[in-house]
Structure 1
Amino acid sequence: MTDRSARLPTEAEIAAINARHLISTPLKPADLLFVFGTRVDVEERVDQAFRLWRDGYFRCAIVSGGITPGSDRSECEIIADAMIARGIPRERILREDRAMNTGENVIFSLPVIDAALGLTNIRSVICLGNTWTARRYPMTLHRHWPEVEKMLVTVDSFATPRSLWHTDCEFRRRILAEWDKIEPYKVKGFIAEWPVR
């Protein structure tokens, strides 16, 4: 079987991805920042979390991510410690350090959020993650926690502008790999349509 993420997308597919996957949402202060774990572009994610904190966009954050092969520290520990080093108060950061994928990020984090803050006290969440994964973060959150308003902020370290993702070989590969997961994941019930049309 060929790797579909290595393909060159058509103009129609580029337009669809730009319109439906690489979405940006209006940003307003939220009750919670949900930082999805990663092994790549950690510094960019931490910088963005700090900017959102500094500018008053969240009161509390949860960082989720387990230990990945080749590391003895969880993604959660690495990212949360870096957020604290940047100036976000330790007591404002909840931690979930077992998740190995986006679904587990949400499933394992909800009890942590509930115990610390109460899920019913959270009305809005900003999802923070990789550009190429894009709306799959809030789609996963929407599948398990439909009640909250969701916003999306994404980061990456590509020099290529986001609108030209298809012109950069690695950026294109990452986005196509994620785009190709959307429909199968919806069918399997891993994610739910978001934003709801």
Structure 2
Amino acid sequence: MSDLHRATRPLTANEIAEINRTHLIDTPLRPADLLFMFGTREDVGLRADTAARLWREGLFRWSIVSGGVTPGSEQSECTIIKAAMTKAGIPADRILEEHLAMTTGENVIFSLPIIDAALGLQNIRSVICLGNSWTARRYPMTLHRHWPEVEKMLLTVDSFAAPRALWHTDTEFRRRVLHEWDKIEPYKARGFITEWPEA
């Protein structure tokens, strides 16, 4: 199914409620050992400012930014996002870097050895996943597939005018949410992600 059809297909009230309840979630936050910043080209400034607020509030001690070079850019997503994070006030020496990932799975797979070498995976007990609202729980579901031991929290951001619960009323927000929602079950079936939060 094309993105156009995803964006325009009819949705029932129950489908909208299910996506709001299970996919477009944030969790309560408490101080974590690590902030995992997933690469993006969208809302970089908003993402960095959010990370800086978490840093000022003492909600993480270390962070990792993961993201490779995307078409049309000469710099990796990691380079661009880390620069925005340091500009927003997070010390550069507290930000680990991963510059190759092109997918959410690669974000995690490529970052784990970097985290292990710098900090020791056994020393990380809790992680806050920070990413785009429409990708939502797929971030911690991917992390849970490869690093089940660590506690995961989720915070997502976007710059859409539509409130999060009314994503379906904005054409582009709707397209992005449905594009990600439609990946969940196939990705679970292929072993790319694992159910989170666990029932």
Query: TM class by shorter-chain length?
Result: over 0.9
When normalised by structure 2's length, the TM-score is 0.97
Alpha carbons of structure 1 residues 2 and 107: separation in structure 2 relative to 1, 3 Å? closer
Residue in 1 aligned with 2:168? 166
SS at match of 1:56: coil
2:38 — aligned with what? 36
Partner of 1:71: 73
**Aligned counterparts of 1:39 and 1:2: Cα–Cα separation in 2:** 22
CA distance in 1 between partners of 2:124 and 2:169 (Å): 39
How far, CA to CA, are the matches of 2:99 and 2:57 in structure 1? Answer: 27
The reply to whether residue 17 of structure 1 matches residue 10 of structure 2 is no
Question: Partner of 1:119 in structure 2?
Answer: 121
- Provide runs of 4+ in structure 1 moved above 6 Å: none
1:123, 1:50 → 2: CA distance?
Answer: 21
**Other structure's SS at 1:52 match:** helix
The one-letter code of the counterpart of 2:100 is R
Correspondence for 1:186 among 181, 185, 188: 188
User: Which residue in the other structure is 2:64 paired with?
Assistant: 62
Q: CA deviation at 1:2?
A: 4.7
Q: Is there any run of 5+ residues in structure 1 with no aligned partner, and where?
A: none
Residues of 2 paired with 1:140 and 1:8: CA distance? 28
Q: State the AA in 2 paired with 1:93.
A: I
Please point out which of 97, 107, 110 is paired with 2:109: 107
Q: Does 1:84 align with 2:57?
A: no
RMSD of aligned Cα (Å): 0.9
Distance 1:106 1:131 in 2: 18
Secondary structure of the corresponding residue to residue 42 of structure 2: coil
CA shift, 1:143, in A, is 0.1
Give the superposition deviation at 1:82.
Answer: 1.0
Q: What's the counterpart of residue 5 of structure 1?
A: 6
CA drift of 1:56 comes to 0.5
Q: Secondary structure at the match of 1:95?
A: strand
Q: Which residue identity does 2:21 align to in structure 1?
A: A
CA distance in 2, matches of 1:184, 1:11: 23
Partner-residue secondary structure (3-state), 1:134: coil
TM-score by length of 1: 0.98
C-alpha separation between the residues in 1 aligned to 2:10 and 2:55? 38
* 1:5 maps to amino acid: R
Q: Which moved more, 1:1-10 or 1:89-98?
A: 1-10
Structure 2 distance, partners of 1:153, 1:2, is 28
Number of the residue aligned with 1:47: 49
Counterpart in 1 of 2:157? 155
Unaligned stretches of 5+ residues in structure 2? none
Matched residue of 2:48: which SS? helix
